[in-house]
């Protein structure tokens, strides 16, 4: 591979440092409702109670996601305190470790240059960046997926038993983060590769039994936690019924229920959902990813492919399963992004000059569309001046990208990597520094907590009515009791600070409880954006009023 140019070393340093800067800006964005706020609150309750084997949400038994993410986050709280950065930091570090494993994997099976490119592709994919701001389980799964695949591939290459141990740790961590289905990319990558290469003896080898046993051993804390919280207590009501097994839910019902659409949470399903989702979730590398998959498929059918196939089979099988599922969310693809990054890097490094020129044209079109989108956001959404650092990053990043693009060079490779990365990271710095912080002003669950803290109101006298407020409980470091209009009793609302809706106010009045409005908040479901909301000229019509009121006592 030719050198990109005299400034190549500096360009690599700049783009990786800029990626870290974008990640750092995302650390300070509010925890978003509902999912991230749920995870932050579950971790808080685990940390405060000291009951590390029990999972509670708003003080009640919670059977949904397993323990590992909450353990990691609770441990982070113990080190850095109960705050937003402490919640997000372990996830960001997990993505950085995932990038390191991606580099190691690509370096081992291709070259060191492949490894660097693959790590950069993973770190700068749009949904990787977004998931480091809106933290859920995916950053952890991204790490453990590529970690498990790397170590099992190393074992198959060198037959060192310790590699099986490391792989088993990663597989157990995957399942303790989100259940049994999470190991499919690893199992499919290895299993299909052995079948494709006709390595029959290794398919039925004792190594897989050892891996399964080790994985179960490392999973024991979660299995025991579920057993003692749920299986030993058949009298508990979960999902509207009793005699619910936590172990069965963890191993079978949770993941299979979503795939078959038979669980408590339903979806509609679209077989092409992830085809078009990848177009934006893997920006600015989506076209390169599709090109890589086509090239890899051709090579496999022609059986002239000398490099690894773990990443291809691992990604493809998981992609097809997700596409067949009735329950689909964009972030489901994140854990297989390292596999796609390795393939994309290989395709880029081995592409012909003609293919590179076509891909460059596609990237230019993508960049133009991104700049139009950025301009529209600034024109219609932004209602205040940009911070100085945002201006500097935008101007410097885009100027540097322009210099790289217009510098005379026969190496199209440089333009295809650095230009889209610099544009994408600059835009994402704007999003993390300006757009999302402004957006969260309309998340009333966190806004009411900030107001409550500023006014130094008593946290033990706050309740929510007709609304669930996970981030409120997280930020106030106490469970804010959720009350509902069809079940609430008058004495539960007397002499309280009540965070509620217009419907809640009407109920308070119907119960003849005296009240005084403390503050009014403008609310919008900010994870479900609309053009009408984004346009500041029409935004007010989309907002829902939320209230914090002080109630008195009924005087008879």
Q: Comparing 186-190, 282-286, 413-417, which segment has the lowest mean pLDDT?
A: 413-417
pLDDT at 280: 86
Q: Comparing 253-262, 388-397, 476-485, 542-551, which segment has the lowest mean pLDDT?
A: 253-262
Which residue among 311, 333, 350 closes a domain? 350
Residues 50 and 197 in one domain: yes
pLDDT at 517: 93
Residues 410 and 340 in one domain: no
Residues 421 and 359 in one domain: yes
Secondary structure element (H or E) that encloses residue 516, with its range: strand 515-523
CA distance 436 to 439: 5
Residues 432 and 451 in one domain: no
The reply to whether 9 falls in a domain is no
143-168 mean pLDDT = 94
Secondary structure element (H or E) that encloses residue 260, with its range: helix 254-260
Three-class HEC string of 180-246: HHHHHHHHHHHHHHHHHCCCHHHHCCHHHHHHHHHHHHHCHHHHHHHHHHHHCCCCCCECCECCCCH
CB atoms under 10 Å from CB of 263, counted, come to 18
pLDDT at 203: 86
**What are the residues whose beta carbons fall under 8 Å from the beta carbon of 328, sequence distance 6 or more?**
267, 269, 270, 273, 274, 322
pLDDT band for 3, please (50, 70, 90 cuts).
very low
Residue (of 128, 26, 20, 104) closest to 434 by Cα position: 26
Contact indicator for 143, 93 with CB cutoff of 8 Å: no
Contact indicator for 145, 182 with CB cutoff of 8 Å: yes
Residues 88 and 194 in one domain: yes
Token pair listed for 224: 């025991």
- pLDDT tens digits, one per residue of 67-104: 999 999 999 999 999 999 999 999 999 999 999 999 99
Residues 505 and 540 in one domain: yes
pLDDT band for 305, please (50, 70, 90 cuts).
low
Which residue among 321, 350, 379 closes a domain? 350
- Look up the pTM and report it: 0.92
Q: Look at residue 5 and tell me whether its pLDDT is greater than 50.
A: no
123-134 mean pLDDT = 95
pLDDT at 4: 45
Q: Look at residue 410 and tell me whether its pLDDT is greater than 60.
A: no
Residues 190 and 317 in one domain: yes
pLDDT band for 114, please (50, 70, 90 cuts).
very high
The reply to whether 373 falls in a domain is yes
Q: What 3-state class would DSSP assign to 502?
A: helix
CA distance 430 to 158: 46
Residue 251: give the domain boundaries. 31-350
What's CA 525's distance to the chain center, in Å?
18
Q: Which residues pair with 482 in a beta bridge?
A: 464
Chain position carrying tokens 């099976």:
109
- pLDDT tens digits, one per residue of 464-519: 999 988 999 999 999 999 999 888 888 889 899 999 999 999 999 999 899 999 99
Angle between helices 184-196 and 310-324 (to 10 degrees): 130
Residues 471 and 421 in one domain: no
Residues 133 and 256 in one domain: yes
pLDDT at 58: 92
- Strand spans (E) along 373-489: 462-465, 482-483
Contact indicator for 536, 517 with CB cutoff of 8 Å: no
- pLDDT tens digits, one per residue of 243-288: 888 898 888 877 765 665 555 555 556 676 777 788 889 999 999 9
309-313 mean pLDDT = 94
**What are the residues whose beta carbons fall under 8 Å from the beta carbon of 420, sequence distance 6 or more?**
284, 285, 363, 366, 367
29 Ramachandran zone, left/alpha/beta (phi>0; psi -120 to 50): beta
Burial (CB count <10 Å: 0-12, 13-18, 19+), residue 550: middle
* DSSP code of residue 379: I
The reply to whether 387 falls in a domain is yes
- pLDDT tens digits, one per residue of 317-371: 988 888 777 665 666 789 999 999 999 999 998 888 889 889 988 988 999 999 9
Average pLDDT, the chain: 90
Q: What 3-state class would DSSP assign to 533?
A: helix
The reply to whether 20 falls in a domain is no
Query: DSSP assignment of 452-465, as one string?
Result: HHHTT--GGGEEEE
Computed over its alpha carbons, how large is the radius of gyration of the chain? 25
pLDDT at 6: 43
**What's the angle, vertex CA 38, arms to CA 33 and CA 43, rounded to 5?**
140
Q: Look at residue 391 and tell me whether its pLDDT is greater than 90.
A: yes
Burial (CB count <10 Å: 0-12, 13-18, 19+), residue 354: exposed
The reply to whether 24 falls in a domain is no
Contact indicator for 185, 335 with CB cutoff of 8 Å: yes
Q: What 3-state class would DSSP assign to 519?
A: strand
CB atoms under 10 Å from CB of 338, counted, come to 34
Buried b (16+ CB within 10 A) or exposed e, 297-331: eebeeeeebebbbbbbbbbbbbbeebeebebbbbb
Alpha carbon dihedral 119, 340, 95, 28, in 10-degree steps, equals 100
Query: Long-range contacts made by residues 148-151, C-beta under 8 angstroms, separation at least 24?
Result: 148/174, 148/183, 148/186, 149/105, 149/185, 149/186, 149/189, 149/190, 149/310, 149/311, 149/314, 149/339, 150/101, 150/104, 150/105, 150/108
The reply to whether 292 falls in a domain is yes
Residues 426 and 530 in one domain: no
Q: Look at residue 1 and tell me whether its pLDDT is greater than 50.
A: no
Token pair listed for 471: 């981030």
Which residue among 291, 321, 350 closes a domain? 350
> Up-side HSE of residue 450: CA atoms within 13 Å toward CB?
12
The reply to whether 244 falls in a domain is yes
Q: Positive or negative, the Cα torsion across 54, 60, 65, 71?
A: negative
Contact indicator for 280, 126 with CB cutoff of 8 Å: yes
pLDDT at 267: 52
Number of domains the chain contains: 3
Q: How far are the Cα atoms of 65, 178, 338, 455, 535 from residue 261, in angstroms, in the given order?
A: 17, 17, 28, 45, 36
The reply to whether 13 falls in a domain is no
Q: Comparing 7-21, 63-77, 232-246, 319-333, which segment has the lowest mean pLDDT?
A: 319-333
Residues 392 and 251 in one domain: no
Burial (CB count <10 Å: 0-12, 13-18, 19+), residue 162: exposed
Residues 340 and 385 in one domain: no
Contact indicator for 99, 171 with CB cutoff of 8 Å: no
CA distance 347 to 463: 56
């Amino acid at each position: 591979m030719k050198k990109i140019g005299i400034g190549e070393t500096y360009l690599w340093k700049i783009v990786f440092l800029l990626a870290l800067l974008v990640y750092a800006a995302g650390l300070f964005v509010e925890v978003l409702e509902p999912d991230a706020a749920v995870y932050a609150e579950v971790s808080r309750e685990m940390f405060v109670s000291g009951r590390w084997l029990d999972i509670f949400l708003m003080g009640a038994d919670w059977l949904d996601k397993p323990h590992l993410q909450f353990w990691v986050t609770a441990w982070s709280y113990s080190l850095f305190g109960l705050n937003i950065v402490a919640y997000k930091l372990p996830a960001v570090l997990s993505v950085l470790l995932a990038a390191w494993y991606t580099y190691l994997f690509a370096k081992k099976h291709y070259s060191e240059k492949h490894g660097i490119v693959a790590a950069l592709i993973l770190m700068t994919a749009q949904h990787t960046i977004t998931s480091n701001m809106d933290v859920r389980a995916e950053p952890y799964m991204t790490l453990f997926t590529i970690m498990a695949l790397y170590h099992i591939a190393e074992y198959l290459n060198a037959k060192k038993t310790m590699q099986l141990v490391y792989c088993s740790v990663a597989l157990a961590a995957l399942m303790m983060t989100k259940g049994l289905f999470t190991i499919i990319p690893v199992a499919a990558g290895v299993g299909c590769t052995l079948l494709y290469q006709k390595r029959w003896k290794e398919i039925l080898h004792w190594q897989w039994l050892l891996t399964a046993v080790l994985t179960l051993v490392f999973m024991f804390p979660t299995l025991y936690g579920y057993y003692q919280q749920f299986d030993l207590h058949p009298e508990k009501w979960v999902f509207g019924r009793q005699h619910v097994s936590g172990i069965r839910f963890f191993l079978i019902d949770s993941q299979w229920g979503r795939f078959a659409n038979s669980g408590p949470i339903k979806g509609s399903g679209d077989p092409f959902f992830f085809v078009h989702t990848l177009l934006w979730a893997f920006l600015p590398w989506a076209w390169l990813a599709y090109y890589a998959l086509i090239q890899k498929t051709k090579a496999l059918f022609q059986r002239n492919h000398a490099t690894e196939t773990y990443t291809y089979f691992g990604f493809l099988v998981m992609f097809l399963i997700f596409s067949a599922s009735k329950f689909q969310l964009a972030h489901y693809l994140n854990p297989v992004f390292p596999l796609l990054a390795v393939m994309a890097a290989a395709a880029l490094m081995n592409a012909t000059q003609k293919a590179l020129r076509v891909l460059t044209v596609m990237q230019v079109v993508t960049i133009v569309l991104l700049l139009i989108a950025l301009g529209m956001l600034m024109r219609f959404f932004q209602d205040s001046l940009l911070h100085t650092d945002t201006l500097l990053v935008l101007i410097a990043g885009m100027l540097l990208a322009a210099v790289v693009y217009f510098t005379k060079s026969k190496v199209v490779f440089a333009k295809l990597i650095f230009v889209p990365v610099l544009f994408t990271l600059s835009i994402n710095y704007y999003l993390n520094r300006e757009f999302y912080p402004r957006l969260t002003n309309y998340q009333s669950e966190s806004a009411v907590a900030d107001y409550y803290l500023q006014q130094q109101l008593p946290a033990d006298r706050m309740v929510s009515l007709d609304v669930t407020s996970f981030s409120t409980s997280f930020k106030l470091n106490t469970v804010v009791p959720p009350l509902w209009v069809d079940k609430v009793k008058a004495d539960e609302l007397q002499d309280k600070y009540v965070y509620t809706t217009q419907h809640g106010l009407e109920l308070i009045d119907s119960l003849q409880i005296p009240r005084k409005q403390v503050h009014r908040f403008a609310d919008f479901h900010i994870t479900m954006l609309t053009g009408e909301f984004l346009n500041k000229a029409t935004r007010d019509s989309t907002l829902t009023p939320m209230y914090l009121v002080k109630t008195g006592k009924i005087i008879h």
